[in-house]
Amino acid sequence: MQVSLPAQPSQLMVVNTWHNDAIGIYVLREANPKGVGLFSFRPMSRRMNFFKDGTSIVKYLSFIALLFASPAWALDYSKIVSPFEEPDSKPNLVRPNMLPDGEVLSLGEDKGEAWLSHPTERYAHGVLGDAIEAGGITYSQGTKSLVLNRLSVFEDRKLRMADLDGDGTTELIVVKSYLDQGAAIAAIGLVDGVPQIIAETDPIGLSNRWLNPVGVADFDGDGKVEVAAVITPHIGGTLKLYGFKEGKFFLKYAQEGFSNHAYGSRELGMSAIGDVNMDGIPELFIPDENRRDIRVVSFKGNAFQQLTRIKGSGPITGPLEFVPGKRPQLTYSLKSNERVTITFTP
Ligand SMILES: [Ca+2]
Ligand SMILES: [Ca+2]
Ligand SMILES: [Ca+2]
């Protein structure tokens, strides 16, 4: 029997079935953009309802639904693995007082640059390959440096730009680690032209615990950006998304089972962001806690959803890169000197 569902089924759909007097409730955790083929029907029960957002949208008599979970429910993709030589690393730009392995951030036309600076060994952690971390941030044009006190460092290799509060001015996002409390996400803004930490998340709470940002975007579609990061990516990472309201970070979502960094590696980019299903909301591409599978996940409509899990591709060592298009692609490299290209079929 051919059954048509609305073009955009709810992410969370409840199916009630009545069989004799028994009521079964099924919760479908993954949206099914293609509708029907994933249901199979047997003439056992008298009535079945599909609900969307609490409203009955489709009603059938005399059928019971047998639900098939993923992979039939997953985003389709194909995968190509090819030999790959890691290119020689780019020659590092060097700026005054710069963190030795740091990256220079361009702040935009006519706005100069910023970089992690004031190298220090006061935090003997070494999660990014050495125990030299940044004690400050330096700007190229007129802006004063921001220098931390001795209780913390910037345990990061780069700065990220984002307009957290939507006021049109750019904030910088960076990992700040307290010597005795571990890492936090810090936002830096210019207050009367002077760089200051305007907000930070609670630190993890233990020394030598770190986090690696994924990126900043409106991941749930509420019109405000969230900062996504994997907390403790080396010891069973948790993906956390922080919103920003009235000058403060607040935790919006937390999901376990992710990792976007290998201990001691300088590679920070083992995760990516992109709109793979072209619904206007970016998805997150993050390796699982073993960095072998890639989990493609969404927070659209305030609901965590795993669109697919790309199996058996590890260990992942190189950066994840998302290439948008009609058939979006995701590429990353493996420890085995191979390059994986995933092509999605939204
Ligand atoms: Ca701003
Ligand atoms: Ca949002
Ligand atoms: Ca999307």
pLDDT string in tens for the chain (346-residue length): 333 344 333 333 434 433 333 334 333 433 343 333 233 333 344 444 554 444 455 544 333 344 433 333 568 999 999 998 777 667 778 999 999 999 999 999 899 999 999 999 999 999 999 999 999 999 999 999 999 999 999 999 999 999 999 999 999 999 999 999 999 999 999 999 999 999 999 999 999 999 999 999 999 999 999 999 999 999 999 999 999 999 999 999 999 999 999 999 999 999 999 999 999 999 999 999 999 999 999 999 999 999 999 997 679 998 999 999 999 999 999 998 899 999 999 7
Kindly report the CA angle at 141 between 140 and 147, in degrees rounded to 5? 60
Q: How far, in Å, from the CA of 280 to the mean position of ligand 3?
A: 5
Whole-prediction pTM value? 0.79
Helix (H) or strand (E) holding 173: strand 171-178
Expressed in angstroms and rounded, the spacing between residue 301 Cα and the centre of ligand 2 is: 9
Q: How far is the CA of 187 from the centre of ligand 1 (A)?
A: 10
Per-residue pLDDT of 218-264, as tens digits, reads: 999 999 999 999 999 999 999 999 999 999 999 999 999 999 999 99
Amino acid letter for position 10: S
For residue 268, what are its two tokens? 């920070």
For residue 135, report the distance from its CA to the centre of ligand 2, in Å: 31
Calculate the alpha carbon distances from 304 to 78, 104, 245, 288, 297 in Å.
24, 34, 21, 15, 7
Nearest ligand to the C-alpha atom of residue 344: 3
Compute the distance between CA of residue 124 and CA of residue 144 in angstroms, rounded to an integer. 27
CA of 265 to the centre of ligand 1 (A): 31
**Residue for token pair 């051919």:** 2
User: Minimal CA–CA distance to 132: which of 141, 140, 123, 144?
Assistant: 123
Could you tell me the distance, in angstroms and rounded to a whole number, from the CA of residue 168 to the centre of ligand 1? 5
Between CA 317 and CA 176 the distance in angstroms is: 24
pLDDT for residue 28: 40
1 C-alpha to ligand 3 centroid (Å): 31
- Listed in sequence order, the DSSP H helices in 144-224 are none
169 alpha carbon to ligand 1 midpoint, in Å? 4
Please tell me the distance between residue 173's alpha carbon and the centre of ligand 3 in angstroms.
23
Among the bound ligands, name the one nearest to the CA of residue 242.
Answer: 2
Distance 104 CA to ligand 1 centre (A): 20
176/173 Cα distance (integer angstroms): 9
Cα(304) to ligand 3 centroid in Å equals: 12
176-205 pLDDT per residue, tens: 999 999 999 999 999 999 999 999 999 999
CA of 111 to the centre of ligand 2 (A): 27
Q: Distance between CA 179 and CA 235 in Å, rounded?
A: 19
The one-letter amino acid at 292? R
To which residue do tokens 């099924």 refer?
A: 26
214 CA distance to ligand 1 middle (Å)? 19
Q: Which amino acid is at 124?
A: A
Bridge partners (DSSP) listed for residue 213 = 229
Ligand closest to CA 165? 1
Instruction: Give the distance (Å) from ligand 2 centre to CA of residue 242.
Output: 9
302 φ, ψ (degrees, to nearest 5): 70, 15
d(CA 245, ligand 2 centre) in Å: 11
Exposed/middle/buried for 222, CB within 10 Å: 0-12, 13-18, 19+?
middle
Span from the CA of 48 to the centroid of ligand 1 (angstroms):
49
Structure tokens belonging to residue 302: 């305030």
For residue 35, the CA-to-ligand 2 centroid distance in Å is 27
Ligand having the closest approach to the CA of 221? 2
Of all ligands present, the nearest one to the C-alpha of 164 is: 1
What's the CA-to-centroid distance between 222 and ligand 3, angstroms?
Answer: 13
Q: Which ligand neighbours the alpha carbon of 244 most closely?
A: 2
